[in-house]
Structures are given as C-alpha cells and as structure tokens.
Amino acid sequence: MDHLDFSSAYADLALDARDLASRASGNQSIPGVDASEQDENGIKITVIDITSDEGAKAMGKLPGHYVTVEVPALRQKDSDLQDRVATKLAQEFELFLQKLGISKTAKVLIIGLGNWNVTPDALGPIVVENVMVTRHYFELMPDQVSAGYRAVSAIAPGVLGTTGIESSEIVQGIVEKSRPDLVIAIDALASRSLERVNTTIQIADTGIHPGSGIGNKRKGLTKETLGVPVIAIGVPTVVYASTIVNSVIDMMHKHFKQQTANTGQILGMLDQLQDSERLELVKEVLNPVGHDLLVTPKEIDQFIEDIGNIIASGLNAALHEAIDVDNVAAYTH
C-alpha cells in the first residue's frame, strides 16, 4: 500500500466494482459476469467470475475469479466469530485452489506486502509472521516430513521507501531462486466504501497490478512477471476522507428517500450527481487544502492483529491437509 509501490492497491474490490456496475446498469445482470452469494450466520460469501472482455470492461476489473468474505461484525472483538471466519476462509480458499487446479503438493510462497511500521499497512507482514513455514524441512530433511504437509515459504519484502528496491523485483528474485509453484500475495487495500473497511477479505486469481502514473517502469506480481499463478488476498484497511463523505451523502439519500419523495430539496445538486461525479466534487474541495487524508479506524492495532491471525489460520488449514479446519487456530501464534 506504499504510495510509490502499488497504486493499484487503491483499486476497487470486485464487490465495489460490481455495486457500481449494477447501479449503472439499473440493477440488471451484467453480461460476462457471474455472481452468486451465500450468507451463513453473519458471514457473507460472494463469488464473482468475470468471464469475458465485455464483463471486464463493464466492471473495470480484469477477467478472473473473485471470492469475497464479508463479516460486518468483524470490527467487534469476538473471538468465536473470528474462529468461524478463519474456518470459512480455509474452506473457501481450498475451493479456490481446486478451481485453479493447484495440486495438493504444489509448493507455495506467501508474500506479505506492506510496511510493518505503518499499522494499517502491516497486514502482509503480520500474516507472514503467523503462517506455518515448512519449505526448509522439505529441503533439508525431506524424508522426515510427515504426510499431509506441503512446502510453504513466506517473506515480507518491505516497501520501496524502506528498501530502495521494488517489491516486485525482490519477489521475482526470490521466485527464481526458490522455485515455488504458486505465489500468494497478501496486501492491505484502500476501500471504496466506509462499511467495507476492516470487514472484508477478497481472494482473487488476477495477481497484483501496479498503477500507471509513475509506475511505467514498474511491474506487478502476476503470472506474466513471476511465471507461476499468483493469488492475491486483500483487506481494505483505509479509506479516503472523500470516500467517507461520498458514502455518507449516498446513505443520506437512501435515508431521506424513506421519508420524502423530494430528496433533492434536502441534498440539493448532490442528490442528482452520479456517484463518481460527486466523488470528484468532494476531492476538488478537499485536495487543494491537503485534507483528503487516508484514514483508518482508531482500533486498527487490534483489528490488524485479529485479521492477520484469521488469514494465517485460514491459510494453514487450507494449505496443509494434516491441519484440520476445526482446530485451525492452534497453529498460529
């Protein structure tokens, strides 16, 4: 989430993109986009497949397989819920690997993107610290490794501002030397909507793409650059002040609509603008005075630790058959 590193980090969740695209299409289904939802005890799973260029264009997202786990109650410290989310995540991640045709012995390298000195950006490094690493046993004493495990390695490469080297270059070097069959990259994201901050985990098979801008010399973490499939796991942990304002005006619109036909009287021109136009307007006001800050909830320290543990537990259970989803939490820190 380093500003110079991955401007794509600020890209929409597929879920945000779908919401936008639905609204634009008047809530009709979008050609080339398959979506299904399931809600289980406060954990909502949305699977979105973008299967054609048409769908990709409508969504503003790359073709691919996107799974989102939404848990509105995740912001509250509830360890039972957290265990359930870890278990659900493990199941979804196993299905995800199956769908991609990743074998049970495929060697995995987990990359924790982000900066451990910046709490809302420390998700990747925290997952790396808590994930079970096994590759060295396979290398040094292969005949002593129990059945039901695979070779997993993990590294947090830091950010451009602290290493002086693009994360993608570091990862490429490590992939070439350590030869995994699959890369899983964890990153904190910026959210398009207030309610998804710290409540949502997205899994996607599209890798991680740098933005354009400065980054024309820069490379992402994708099958093209690394030579192996790249699964990205992202959690929105920050939101722009402008996004908050825009979200809230939208919430006001919905709120007043239940009370009056004439919401325009209350919200003026703000009521008629398209979502993206209104956002531009808010940015136009905030940017010149330097106040379009990226913000994060006050409880971010606790949240990042909790969600980091959930993802690490989920990965441990999904990656190793010997680890049961029932006692998944025991294998993390």
- Minimum Å gap between C-beta 99 and its own copies is 26
Show the site string, 136-155: x = touches its own copies by CB under 8 A, - = not.
x--xx----------xxxxx
Interacting positions 80-109 with its own copies (CB under 8 A) = none
Start-to-end CA distance of the chain, whole Å, equals 25
From 35-43, 200-208, 259-267, 308-316, span contacting its own copies (CB under 8 A): 259-267
Q: Is 129 in the site for its own copies (CB under 8 A)?
A: yes
Q: Is 178 in the site for its own copies (CB under 8 A)?
A: yes
Spell out the SS3 assignment of 34-84. EEEEEEECCEEEEEEEECCHHHHHHHCCCCEEEEEEECHHHHCCCHHHHHH
Interacting positions 16-35 with its own copies (CB under 8 A) = none
Distance CA 37, CA 66 (A): 12
Q: How many CB atoms lie within 10 A of CB 266?
A: 15
Interacting positions 284-303 with its own copies (CB under 8 A) = 284-286, 289-291, 293-302
- Minimum Å gap between C-beta 293 and its own copies is 5
- Reading the block at residue 131, the tokens are 């994930």
Task: Pick one of 268, 274, 277, 326: the residue that binds its own copies (CB under 8 A).
Answer: 268
Side-by-side strand order, sheet with 43-50: 33-40, 43-50, 64-70, 200-204, 230-240, 182-191, 108-112, 152-155
Q: Is 177 in the site for its own copies (CB under 8 A)?
A: yes
One-letter amino acid for residue 329 of the chain: A
- Minimum Å gap between C-beta 51 and its own copies is 33
Show the site string, 299-328: x = touches its own copies by CB under 8 A, - = not.
xxxx--------------------------
Q: Is 200 in the site for its own copies (CB under 8 A)?
A: no
* Greatest alpha-carbon span in the chain: 75
Q: Is 133 in the site for its own copies (CB under 8 A)?
A: yes
- Minimum Å gap between C-beta 265 and its own copies is 6
Q: Is 224 in the site for its own copies (CB under 8 A)?
A: no
User: Is the separation of the CB atoms in 13 and 191 below 8 Å?
Assistant: yes
Residue 96 exposed, middle or buried by CB count within 10 Å (0-12, 13-18, 19+): buried
